[in-house]
Amino acid sequence: GMNALRIVLHLASALCFTTALAHLPLAEAMAIFFVEPLLLTALSVPLLGEKVGVRRWAAIGVGFVGVLLVVRPGTVAWSVWAFFPLGSAVVFALYEIVTRKAGASEPPLTSFLWLMAGMGLLMAPAAPFY
């Protein structure tokens, strides 16, 4: 259950990011992906019941403004491909939340082995193309 969901989320994140790298400079793709910790913090409130203080929300806001400065939406430099690293960040944040929930009932090594085995099996057919 949880391991299958983790594998699918991790795979989706990886595929979104590698697609982005085919169309965007690495620096731009990474700058957009760096919104992931901000998303993780925001999603941890409704999904994990964590408390986030005013200072952290302010830091999230500043971080998001930083991402907007790098990405420059609405300018000529803006590209629809920017949604791929953003999608990767959203899905990876969800993967981390599911991993945190699974960690309550499963040892880290077991969780890691399931992820690596699942990713290896699912990505093996694509390996010749990369």
Cβ count within 10 A of residue 53: 8
pLDDT digit string, tens, across residues 84-128? 999 999 999 999 999 999 888 888 899 999 999 999 999 899 889
Q: What is the pLDDT of residue 116?
A: 95
Question: pLDDT of 25-84, one tens digit each?
Answer: 898 899 889 999 999 999 999 999 999 999 999 999 998 888 888 777 766 567 889 899
CA distance 120 to 122: 6
- Please state, in angstroms and rounded to a whole number, the distance separating the CA atoms of residues 53 and 5: 30
**Global confidence as pTM:** 0.85
Report DSSP letters for 63-119, one per residue: HHHHHHHHH-TTSTT--GGGHHHHHHHHHHHHHHHHHHHHTTTS-HHHHHHHHHHHH
Name the domain count of the chain. Answer: 1
Angle between helical axes of 54-71 and 26-33 (0-180°, round to 10): 160
For residues 99 and 2, the answer to whether their CB atoms sit within 8 Å is no
Report which of residues 49 and 1 the model is more confident about: 49
Terminal C-alpha separation, the chain:
29
| Cα–Cα dist 67/81, whole Å | 15
What's the domain range around 80? 2-129
The values of phi and psi at residue 52, to 5°, are: -120, 125
